[in-house]
Amino acid sequence: MTSTLPRSRPLYVLWIALTIGAGLLLRSRFVSLPEPVEKYGGDLLWALMAFFGFGLLFHRSSTRRFGLISLGFAWGIEFLQLYHAPWIDGIRATRIGHLILGSTFNPPDLLAYAAGIALGVALEGFRRRPPV
């Protein structure tokens, strides 16, 4: 769906907060899931949060446009992990830097990011569907 009706910014802030909460819960000691679910589920949620963030910023853009921007951003961050210099590795050594930038390039992460953004596109499609 590529509707360009303005999005509700408070709703996107809520979705971002819920996605961050789900990601933190997924990585917490309160949830015990198989390692691949924790690893790639976190990547999926990270990309979903980026999707909602770009939806908040570009609230008048089409879903397709900010979906592609989100995918480019997520994949760009992943490919940036191939670059190592003291200044960026210093940022990655912090908790927030590691959460945002990651540390090690992993090709399957690209699929997890695409899945997270596809989930966001689907959720937006359901939310923006006209009532029957």
DSSP 8-state assignment for residue 103: S
Residue among 129, 126, 120, 5 nearest 59 (CA)? 5
Tens of each residue's pLDDT in the chain, 132 residues = 444 567 889 999 999 999 999 988 888 888 888 888 888 999 999 999 999 999 999 988 999 999 999 999 999 999 999 999 999 999 999 989 998 898 899 999 999 999 999 999 999 888 766 665
Domain boundaries, the chain: 9-128
Per-residue model confidence (pLDDT) at position 72: 97
How many other CB atoms sit within 10 Å of the CB of residue 28?
Answer: 10
End-to-end, the C-alpha distance of the chain in Å comes to 16
What's the DSSP call for residue 52?
A: H
CB of 98 closer than 8 Å to CB of 90? no
Q: How confident is the model at residue 27, as a pLDDT?
A: 81
